[in-house]
Amino acid sequence: MISSVNRRNFLKVAGGAGAGLVLSFYLPSKNHEFLGESPNESFAPNVWLRIDPSGTVTITVAKSEMGQGPHTYFPMIVAEELEADWKSIKVEQADAHPDKYGSQGTGGSTGVRTSWENLRKAGATAREMLIAAAATRWNVDRLSCYAENGSVIHKPTKRSFTYGQLADDAGKVPVPQNPPVKDPKDFKIVGTWVPQLPTADRSTGKAKFGIDTKVPGMLYASLVRCPVFGGNVASFDATKAKAVPGVRTIVQIDNGVAVLADSTWAAMQGRDALDIKWDNGPNASLDSDKIRKMFEEYSSKEGVVGESEGEIAKALTAGAKSVEAVYELPYISHSPMEPMNCVADVKSGSCEIWVPSQTPQSAQDVAAQITGLPKEKVTVHVTMLGGGFGRRLDNDYVEEAVKISKAASVPVQLLWTREDDMMHDFYRPASRHHLSGAVDGSGKLVAWNHKMIGPSIGEQRSPGRFKDGMDRSALNGATEMPYSIPNYAVSYVMANTAVPIGAWRSVYRSQNIFVVESFIDELAHAARKDPLEFRLQMLDKSPRLKKVVETVAEKAGWKKPLPKGLGRGIACASCFGSHVAEVAEVSVEKGKVRVHRMVVAVDCGIAVAPNTLEAQIEGAIVLALTAALKGEITIENGRAKQSNFDAYPLMTIDEMPKVEVHIVNSYEALGGIGEPGVPPAAPAVCNAIFSATGKRIRRLPIVKLV
Amino acid sequence: MASISLSVNGKKETIDVQPDTPLLWVLRDTLGLTGTKYGCGIGACGACNVHMDGEVTRSCATPVLSCDGKSIVTIEGLEQNGHLHPVQEAWIKEDVPQCGYCQPGMIMSATALLKKRRHPTDADINDALSGNLCRCGTYNRVRKAIHLAAKNGGAQ
Ligand code: FES
Ligand code: FES
C-alpha cells in the first residue's frame, strides 16, 4: 500500500496490521563519478527501514560491503536519528534492482556523502512517527513525549512504550514532511567508535563471500582464457580433460573454454588438461619496454590542455631557478584476496546470480542481455566482497558465469584462479609525466607545467568517446591543484595500449598526486625552502587542506630532528571531498626502504564512523605503500608476466609501519573516506627517502632504484 | 579414488576423493566448511591456513592423502562449548577485520602462535604472521589483537 509519495522525501510503503512500520526513502544518487559518468540527479529510494512488532529495526543496505563499512555506518546514521537501541539493529543486503534503491554502485568514496542527509531524515521520520503513535495512545501532547534508546517516553508520567509496541500504530501515522534532525553536538552514535556489525561473522568463518555460495545441483567451473590480451581460442581438444575424474562437461564460450566438475579441484585439474591452440591476436608482441618507449615518443606531442593560467612559457624561463623531471608509473593489479567469482543459474525463464560485485545493477543488465530475459527475471544477490579496490566495478566474471550456465544448462560457480585474477585484471594504467617548474628569487613557485602521458580508461571502455583526445578524468589530481601558482598548465597526451585498465582505489589520483606531490618537493628543495613551509605558503585558497597539513606537521613533530638515518616526507591531497595530509618516516639501509611511521590528518567534514575511518586510512596506506614499494605488472609477449603472489609480493605484517590517524572535524561538507588515504602515501614516502638519502624517486616501484 | 580418514574439528570423517586433492578443497567442497579460504593455491598467502595436529598448515598445498589419520582444526572448530576462542574475542574487541577474507587464516596463525608462545613479542608475531597476506591492510590491528589475546590467556 502506497499511502503518500513525495519525490524529495519519503515513501511509506506499508504499515499496520502486524507489518510494523516500513519506510523507504529517496536518496539522490550522484555516485557515478568513479566511472567518469555524468552525475545522475534522479531521486530514488535506496534505503529501506523496517521496524517490526518484535522491536527489530531492519535496515536494507543497497551498497556492497567490502570492508569499507556500509553495513555499519548506514545503520549508525539511521539509529542516531531514530534514537534506536543499537542492539535492535539488523542489516540486510539488498538484491540488485534497476531503480528501487537508486544507484547501487559502490565506488568513488560516495557511500556516506550521498546518503548522509537522507539516512538522517529517514531515522528522524520514523522517530517522529513512533512518537506520534505513542502520544495518540496515551492521548497526550506529542511535545510531552520523547524518544530514547528504542522507546518513546511520556516525560511527566515516565510511562513508556518500546518501538516494537508502537510499530503497527506508527505505520498508520501520516509521514511527516520535515522531521527535525539532531544537532551534531547531541550525537550519541555518529562520531563514536562503533565496532563493525559484520566483525563477529568475519572472525568465525561465518561470513559468506561469493566463493562460499553453494546452490543445489551446482557444478564448479574453471575457465581458460587466452593469456594474451585480445587473443582467443583457435581450437581445442578436450579428450584428456574429460578423462579427469570428477569432470562432468566442457563448454566453450566466446572468450575461452570452461571445465565443469564436481569439485573446484577437479575443475582446475580438468582445465590444466585441456589442449588449446591459441590465436594470440594482434598483441602477441606487446611488452613493457615497447609501451615505455611509446609513452616516451608520445611525450613530444603537444598535450591537450586541461587547465591553465597565466603565461607558462614565459614564467618557466623568467624564474630564478627552474627544474625539469620525468616520472613513470607501472601497471599494477588490484588483487583483492578473494579472486573473482560468480554463481549463476540460468533457466529457461529466469536467471539467478550470487556475486561479490561493486555494481550489481550492471551485473543484472549484462545477465539480462546475455539471456534475453527481462530484468525482473534476473535476480542478483550480493554477497560479502573479499576486497574490491575497484576491480569489482567490472562484471566480466558475471558475464562468463552466465554464459557458462546458459551453455551447460546447470547452475555453476565460476571461480577464477589467482593466476586468472592477476593475468586478467583491469590494471591501474601505467603513465609517464613530464614536469617543469620555476621558483623566483624569493623562493616562490611561479611556474608549473605538467604533461601526463598515458592510457584513458574511458576511451578503452568506449572507443571514440573522446573526440579531442581529452579524457579529463585522466588528469584528476593533476588539475584542480590546491596550491596558488600564478602560471601553470596541465595537459594530457592520450596513449592507449591493449592492456586492460580500470579504476584502482582513487583511480588516476593515485598516480597524478604522486607526481604532483613529489615534484612540489623537488621545487621546495630547489627554492631552499622547508617542504612544509613551501606548501603552506601556497595553501591560502585551500583552508581545509591547510589545516590538515598544519595538524599533521604538528602531530608528526615535523620540526623535531630525527635520529640519523631516518628521513621525513610530507604530502597532501584534496580529493573525493576530503582533505588529507600524511607524513612518512623512513630509513634506507643497504638499499632497503623501511617505512617506520605514517602520521595522517584527515578532514572529511564529520567523521561519521571513526573506527571505519581509521581502518580505511590504514588500509589505503597499505595498498598505496605496497604499490609504491613493490607493485609492478610487467607485460611480456602480450600478457601479464606476474601471475601470483610469489612474483607479485604484497606488503606483510613485519613491514607494516605504525599508523597514526588524526581526525580534523571541520563540520563542513562531508567527504569520502575509502580512497583519499591512498594518494599522499607514496609521495610522502618518496619525499622521506629524499630527505634520508638525497635520492629522488621518479619511477615506481621504489624497489627498482634504491 | 582413495578413502582417507581424518578428524576435522573433532569429528571423524572418511573422505573419498582423488588423493592429490588439496585439503582446502576437501574442507570447502566436500565437507562444506567454507571458512577456510582460497587466496593463491601456491602456499603464498595463508588464507587457507588450518591446524594439522596443532601445526599451522597451508591446506591449499597439502594433499588430502597426507592427512590420513591426522587431526585438523579449521576456523569453524575454534569455538568450544559455545564460547569463542580468546583470539576471536580479541579480534572482535579490536575490530580487526575489514573485508574479512584473510581473517580465518590470520586467526589460525595467531592461535597456533599463542599455543607456542604465551606472550609473543612483536618479533614473534612478525615471524608467525608474515605469511598471511591481507590486502585490506589490517596488520596493525592483527598485532594488537594478538597481544590482547595473550593478555587474556589466549593460549587456550
Ligand atoms: S591459498 Fe593457500 S596459501 Fe594462499
Ligand atoms: S581483511 Fe580483507 S584481505 Fe584482510
**Domains in chain A: how many in total?**
3
Which residue out of B37, B85, B101 would a mutagenesis test of the A interface target, given it has the greatest number of A Cβ atoms within 10 Å?
Answer: B101
Q: Give residue-wise pLDDT tens across range A606-627.
A: 998 999 999 999 999 999 999 9
Domain termination residue (choose one: A415, A447, A464): A415
Question: A161: helix, coil or strand?
Answer: strand
Contact A445, A485 (CB under 8 A): yes
Which residue of chain A is at minimal alpha-carbon distance from B126? A654
Using a CB-CB cut-off of 8 Å, the residues of chain B touching A67 are 97-100, 136
Cβ atoms A37, A22 nearer than 8 A: no
Determine, yes or no, domain membership for A184.
yes
Please compute the mean of the pLDDT values over residues A368-374 and round it to a whole number: 97
Identify which of A170, A144, A154 has the alpha carbon closest to the alpha carbon of residue A55: A170
DSSP A183: P
CA distance B149 to B156: 10
Residues 78-137 of B with CB under 8 A from A: 78-79, 84, 88, 91-92, 95-104, 107, 125-127, 129-137
Look up the pTM and report it: 0.94
- β-pairing, A445-454 vs A487-494, is parallel
Q: Residue A222: its pLDDT value, please?
A: 98
Q: Phi and psi for A244 in degrees, rounded to 5?
A: -70, 125
Distance from the CA of B109 to the center of ligand 2, in angstroms? 15
Instruction: Please check whether residue A358 is in contact with residue A106, taking contact to mean a CB–CB distance below 8 angstroms.
Output: yes
pLDDT, tens only, A215-263: 999 999 999 999 999 999 999 999 999 999 999 999 999 999 999 999 9
Q: Are residues B71 and B13 in the same domain?
A: yes
Look at B137 and A622 and tell me if their CB atoms are within 8 Å: yes
Domain of A501: which CATH number? 3.30.365.10
Q: At what angle do helices B139-151 and B122-129 cross, to 10 degrees?
A: 120
Which ligand 2 atom sits nearest the alpha carbon of residue A66?
2
B87, closest residue in chain A (CA to CA): A203
Q: Let me know whether B70 and B96 are in one domain.
A: no
Residues A473 and A443 in one domain: yes
Together in a domain, A432 and A410: no
Considering only CA atoms, give the Rg of chain A: 27
CA of A638 from ligand 1 middle (Å) equals 27
Question: Peptide bond preceding A195: is omega within 30 degrees of 0, i.e. cis?
Answer: no
Q: Which DSSP helix (H) or strand (E) runs through A257?
A: strand A256-261
Task: Pick B40's closest partner by Cβ from A203, A209, A645.
Answer: A645
**A4 part of a folded domain:** no
Of the pLDDT bands very low, low, confident and very high (cuts 50, 70, 90), residue A47 is low
Digit-coded pLDDT (tens) for B126-139: 999 999 999 999 99
pLDDT band, residue B52 (cuts 50/70/90): very high
Q: Does A106 touch chain B if contact means CB atoms closer than 8 Å? A: no
Share above pLDDT 90 across residues of chain A, in percent, rounded to a whole number = 80
Instruction: Give the residue numbers spanning the domain of B26.
Output: 2-76
Name the one residue in this structure whose C-alpha cell is 579441484: A265
Could you count the other beta carbons within 10 Å of the beta carbon of residue A287?
16
Cα A326 from chain centroid (whole Å): 28
Of the pLDDT bands very low, low, confident and very high (cuts 50, 70, 90), residue A34 is very low
Do the Cβ atoms of A134 and A152 come closer than 8 Å?
yes
Within 8 A of A196 by CB-CB distance, chain B residues are 95, 97
Q: Does residue A29 surpass a pLDDT of 50?
A: no
d(CA A413, CA A208): 14
Protein residue closest via CA to atom 3 of ligand 2: B134
A590: domain range? 288-332+427-704
Residue A350 CA to residue A371 CA, distance in Å, equals 9
Q: Which ligand is nearest to the CA of B56?
A: 1
Would you mind telling me the total number of residues written for chain A in this entry? 706
* A527 grid coordinates: 627554492
| Out of A95-104, A292-301, B54-63, B130-139, least confident range | A95-104
Nearest CB to B98; choose among A67, A269, A656: A67
**Residues B72, B104 share a domain:** no
Cα A395 from Cα A22, distance rounded (Å):
32
Mean pLDDT of chain A: 91
According to DSSP, the β-strands at A159-162 and A219-225 are unpaired
Question: DSSP code of A537?
Answer: T
State the best of A337, A414, A655 to mutate against chain B, taking most chain B CBs within 10 Å: A337
Pairing of strands A351-355, A378-382: parallel
Separation of alpha carbons A546 and A539, rounded Å: 6
Q: Are residues A78 and A215 in the same domain?
A: no
